[in-house]
Structure 1
Amino acid sequence: MMTTYPHLLERIQALVSSSKEERIHFLYEDRWIGYDRAKKIIAVLEDLLQQPRKIRPLSLLLIGEPNNGKTTIIREFYRQNHTMSIRDPVTDLIDVTKPAILIEAPPTADEKALYIALLDHFFVPFRPTDSKTKLRYQLIHLLRRFGTRMLIIDEIHNFLSGTAMKQREVMNALKSITNELMISIVGIGTKDAVRVLHTDPQHASRFDVADLPNWDLDLDFRNLLVSYERILPLKMASNLSARQSATLLHEISGGNLGDLNRILVECAKDAILSGAEQISIETIKKFKSLKPTAGLRKVN
Structure 2
Amino acid sequence: MSGDSHIHPDFRHILGLSQRDRIAFMDQPRWIGYQTANMIMDTMRGFMDKPARPRMPNLLIVGEPNNGKTTIVRRFAELHGQGFVNDDAEPVKPVILTEAPPSADEKGLYVALLERFWAPYRATDPLPKLRYQVIHQLRTCHTRLLIIDEFHSLLTGSAIKQREVMNAIKFLCNELMIPIVGVGTREAVRVLHTDPQHASRFDVASVPLWELNKNFQRLLLWFERVLPLKDESTLHQPELAAALHAICAGNLGDLHRLLVECATEAINTGKERIDKEIVEGKAWMRPTKGIREIVG
TM normalised by structure 1 equals 0.93
Give the CA deviation at 1:120: 0.5
Partner in structure 1 of residue 172 of structure 2: 177
Give the CA deviation at 1:86: 5.5
Q: Is the 8 A contact 1:4 1:13 kept in 2?
A: no
Superposition pairs of residues 209-288 of structure 1, within 5 angstroms: 209-288=204-283
Give the CA deviation at 1:96: 3.2
Structure 1 residue 194 corresponds to structure 2 residue 193: no
Structure 1 residue 208 corresponds to structure 2 residue 203: yes
Partner in structure 2 of residue 14 of structure 1: 13
Q: Counterparts of 1:27 and 1:256 in 2: how far apart (Å)?
A: 18
Q: Counterparts of 2:264 and 2:123 in 1: how far apart (Å)?
A: 45
Specify whether residues 66 and 25 from structure 1 end up closer, same or farther in structure 2 by C-alpha distance, changes over 3 A only. Answer: same
Structure 1 residue 68 corresponds to structure 2 residue 63: no
Q: Counterparts of 2:248 and 2:129 in 1: how far apart (Å)?
A: 48
Partner in structure 2 of residue 109 of structure 1: 104
Q: Is the 8 A contact 2:58 2:181 kept in 1?
A: yes
Give the CA deviation at 1:30: 2.1
Q: Counterparts of 1:175 and 1:96 in 2: how far apart (Å)?
A: 25
Partner in structure 2 of residue 52 of structure 1: 51
Specify whether residues 96 and 236 from structure 1 end up closer, same or farther in structure 2 by C-alpha distance, changes over 3 A only. Answer: farther
Q: Counterparts of 1:245 and 1:287 in 2: how far apart (Å)?
A: 13
Give the CA deviation at 1:94: 4.6
Deviates more, 1:260-269 or 1:76-85: 76-85
Q: Counterparts of 2:219 and 2:65 in 1: how far apart (Å)?
A: 19
Partner in structure 1 of residue 38 of structure 2: 39
Q: Counterparts of 1:99 and 1:16 in 2: how far apart (Å)?
A: 39
Deviations 1:197-255 (A, max 9, x none): 01111111110001111111111111111111111111111110001111111111111
Partner in structure 2 of residue 100 of structure 1: 95
TM normalised by structure 2 equals 0.94
Q: Is the 8 A contact 2:227 2:263 kept in 1?
A: yes
Look up the equivalent residue of 1:47 and give its one-letter code: G
Q: Counterparts of 2:68 and 2:86 in 1: how far apart (Å)?
A: 36
Q: Counterparts of 1:149 and 1:137 in 2: how far apart (Å)?
A: 17
Partner in structure 2 of residue 158 of structure 1: 153
Give the CA deviation at 1:4: 6.2
Look up the equivalent residue of 1:75 and give its one-letter code: R
Specify whether residues 192 and 290 from structure 1 end up closer, same or farther in structure 2 by C-alpha distance, changes over 3 A only. Answer: closer
Look up the equivalent residue of 1:123 and give its one-letter code: W
Give the CA deviation at 1:34: 1.4
Q: Counterparts of 1:37 and 1:78 in 2: how far apart (Å)?
A: 17
Q: Counterparts of 1:143 and 1:52 in 2: how far apart (Å)?
A: 16
Specify whether residues 45 and 252 from structure 1 end up closer, same or farther in structure 2 by C-alpha distance, changes over 3 A only. Answer: same
Q: Counterparts of 2:270 and 2:34 in 1: how far apart (Å)?
A: 29
Partner-residue secondary structure (3-state), 2:4: coil
Q: Counterparts of 1:156 and 1:115 in 2: how far apart (Å)?
A: 14
Q: Counterparts of 1:238 and 1:280 in 2: how far apart (Å)?
A: 7
Deviates more, 1:173-182 or 1:31-40: 31-40
User: Identity rate of aligned residues, in percent?
Assistant: 50
Partner-residue secondary structure (3-state), 2:226: coil
Q: Counterparts of 2:281 and 2:193 in 1: how far apart (Å)?
A: 45
Specify whether residues 175 and 251 from structure 1 end up closer, same or farther in structure 2 by C-alpha distance, changes over 3 A only. Answer: same
Q: Counterparts of 1:273 and 1:23 in 2: how far apart (Å)?
A: 10
Give the CA deviation at 1:290: 3.9
Partner in structure 1 of residue 26 of structure 2: 27
Which sections of structure 2, spanning at least 5 residues, go unmatched? none
